[in-house]
Structure 1
């Protein structure tokens, strides 16, 4: 088998920091890394060849890049730091520019684009499937969705894979788990036990495995939702966090109506606990990985509990 030359953009970000060692361990790839901070790549991954900040067609051709894993982008959780046009410039325009350069030098190559489930929708009581019409609401989601549409329309003979992960967790990234972790760590009672919901999550370890499959196997191109196999309730999540750090959790089933009124009041007076935060903790947001499993029959089981406990223990340690 010939060596696969893989370029990973955004290699110093959270996903890149986990994916690069995963790919390095296999030893079958010539790995190139791209970042706005090339020196960081040298320090973090001596085995990775540093790509120039300006990626041009000549460099892509000279290094015979077979696969691009495009992780670079502006994340949705950096509110206030960027203007709306920045999301479109980076998430859409820069993605399309890189894709077109790559397509010119390798029209049969693989382009793996890390989009987001937010490109489909921010809220849904239905299980989220790939065939649903997209209805993003934020500049983050809209910019990702527009990039998806352009890539798929221009694919021709290229193998284009659009990956829509749900909320990613793993060691080094507390994200939305941090509030729950702090509640349990401080021994505070969990006041939202009266809500019953289901949410999908994705461990970065499972994402690594999925990206590796796309990069190395022949899989039908298109959009794929990426999530752990099991959706879990926030209440169960809180209990698992307690188990991970050895703390029992007091579950308070306060009236959901009372909690909702308090959250509405919090939004009006500028409290951190508001309707948006409440919805994120209590609403349903279930992502199906059925298409992924149908196209990757050798994909191992991807459960939430073991990887989540590992992540929480990394915070606690």
Structure 2
């Protein structure tokens, strides 16, 4: 294990899990925090900042072996920004590259960047998963900003001694998951009939523990240097299969109506919900062969066990 790690996004869903794993592994962690740090683990050194693109990090990076950069301006629905791409670039490109430049100057050995599968694109044909060799085709401001950050980091790695590792996760789920995944669990828990019983797509997901395990592996593995990795559970599911498995984890039976996918897609498009239709009915698969072969890495947690952990946390939260 790398001895000293500088972590951003430590109060977030992914960053918080990375923090817990690093502490468990005995690393010394410095966490960059903009908001409330009260929830952080004891023994973590905290560095407070206002903005990634204007902060002077040099003093905090002295003696650091590796940076894990989880913080970002994330993809948001109904963005209120007048120029969303500029807002994403300010944090995700300028902020990332400012931190990385200063890390390289401070002698940091490795910089692990949590990117997004949106760099590859928004969907795949069934049986034609994305690979790291595919030409990136980001289509929204978030994906574009992540791709530009990747390009800047790889260029930095070419002209400095700092190694860069880029990880592009698919949808991440785990205990404490929010947004659409949490809404799905609530519907299943309440026994709400859902019109998703005949969707024959394929979606790659990644359990939080599996993503964290690859991040930690990438901190020290020699073969990870200056590489891009896609990450998933290695078990692709249809939306229908995911609902059945999640319901089973909750101890419920999914009440799914077999409405054809084309009817769902047509209705969603008419309501202006094309992106939602793509997530529910379209396919998005990734090939993790590169991580398996180059790093000898395999997802340590199965989908069923990961969903059970999510269900346990959900039921616990519901009782509070």
TM-score normalised over the length of structure 1: 0.90
Which consecutive residues of structure 2, in runs of 5 or more, have no partner in the other structure?
A: 50-54
Residues in 2 aligned to 1:306 and 1:92: alpha-carbon distance in whole angstroms: 36
Q: Tell me, what secondary structure is at the counterpart of 2:172?
A: strand
> What's the counterpart of residue 270 of structure 1?
none
Which stretch shifts more, 160-169 or 16-25?
16-25
Determine the structure 1 residue equivalent to 2:148: 146
Matches of 2:117 and 2:195, distance apart in 1: 28
1:174, distance to aligned residue in structure 2 (A): 2.6
Q: Which residue of 2 aligns with 1:196?
A: 200
Query: Over aligned residue pairs, what C-alpha RMSD do you find?
Result: 1.9
Q: Does 1:33 align with 2:34?
A: no
Alignment of 1:268-283 (within 5 A): 274-283=273-282
The verdict on how the C-alpha distance between 1:43 and 1:231 changes in structure 2, with shifts beyond 3 A counting, is: closer
Q: Distance in 1 between matches of 2:135 and 2:199?
A: 29
Deviations 1:252-297 (CA, angstroms, capped at 9, x unpaired): 2123333333223322xxxxxx332122111110011111111221
| 2:263 paired residue number | 258
Structure 1 runs not aligned, ≥5 long:
268-273
Paired with 1:35 and 1:129, the residues of 2 have a C-alpha distance of 33
Separation in 2 of the partners of 1:297 and 1:19?
20
The secondary structure found in structure 2 opposite 1:262 is helix
Q: State the alpha-carbon separation in 2 of the partners of residues 124 and 67 from structure 1.
A: 34
- Counterpart CA distance in 2 for 1:175 and 1:219 is 35
Contact persistence 2:268–2:274 (CA under 8 A): yes
* d(CA) in 2 for partners of 1:26, 1:133: 36
Q: Does the 8 A contact of 1:57 with 1:105 survive in 2?
A: yes
C-alpha contact (below 8 Å) 2:11/2:39 kept by paired residues: no
1:123 aligns to what? Answer: 123
Deviations 1:220-241, CA, capped at 9 Å, x for gaps: 3211111111111111111112
Distance 1:258 1:111 in 2: 45
- 1:98 corresponding residue in structure 2: 99
- Secondary structure at the aligned position of 1:160 is classed as strand
Once the two structures are TM-superposed, the CA of residue 209 in structure 1 deviates from its matched residue by: 1.0
How high is the TM-score relative to the length of structure 2?
0.89
Residues 35 and 191 of structure 1: is their aligned pair in 2 closer, same or farther, counting only changes over 3 Å?
same
1-structure distance, mates of 2:210, 2:263 = 38
State the SS of the aligned residue for 2:252.
coil
